[in-house]
Amino acid sequence: MKWTMVAAMTAVLGAAPAWAQDRPFDPYGDGGEVTYRDPMTGFRVEVAGGYDRLEINYVDDDTKYYDGADGIRYGGEIGYDVAIGGTVLLGAYGGYAGASTKRCDDIGLSIELCQKAKGEWSGGVRLGLRVAERAQVYGKVGYASMPLEFRYNTDRTTETYAGMHFGLGGEIGLGSGAFAKAELVATNFRTKDRIYEGLNFDRRHAVAGLGYRF
């Protein structure tokens, strides 16, 4: 009987994912279920920073013309993730980010025209694939809203642009609750009824960050 139980346990562990084999076992318990908390699920907070690119482009006679500005992006995000089966993770998120991205051009007669990206709000959902007990790769899709400030000498005006964003990223655990992440996101802002109407207005950023799951 003893060897039958050992063989059965070996078969179960052999068929389980690698991370499932590390789940806690209480040798002094009463045989009941041991509580296990999935380290990739639950509420999370994170901060991140990196590269930001704001670009205007258009196509004329099969030639693409573009220009833009580069800067440093910084911000934070909150989210909540749940497990769907053993390897799939589904989550929702919301975030805010600022940037140093700014462009100024001298348009003659000592007149300067500047554009500066203001704080960007975003939110959406992401779908992850677990590659280890505390590591995943994921894709995200959501909506972003960003005010853009225009300065013409001393005159200032601000327009808010909004659009969909898409991204790819990865996350790996560092310790009890802590994790590191990196992601690349591209946003296409709608320009209808705005100063940039008729042009393609895109924003891309690549960031790395640290977070904690509660």
Work out the burial of residue 168: count CB atoms within 10 Å of its CB; fewer than 13 is exposed, 13-18 middle, 19 or more buried.
middle
Among residues 40, 45, 205, the alpha carbon closest in space to that of 136 is found at 40
**Distance (Å, rounded) from C-alpha 154 to C-alpha 20?**
62
- Supply the range of the domain harboring residue 158: 37-213
> Total domain count for the chain?
1
pLDDT of residue 31: 55
Looking up residue 203, the CATH number of its domain turns out to be 2.40.160.20
Domain assignment present for 203: yes
**35-39, 126-130, 153-157, 194-198: least confidently modelled range:** 35-39
Give pTM, 2 decimals.
Answer: 0.76
Domain assignment present for 29: no
**58-62, 89-93, 137-141, 147-151: least confidently modelled range:** 58-62
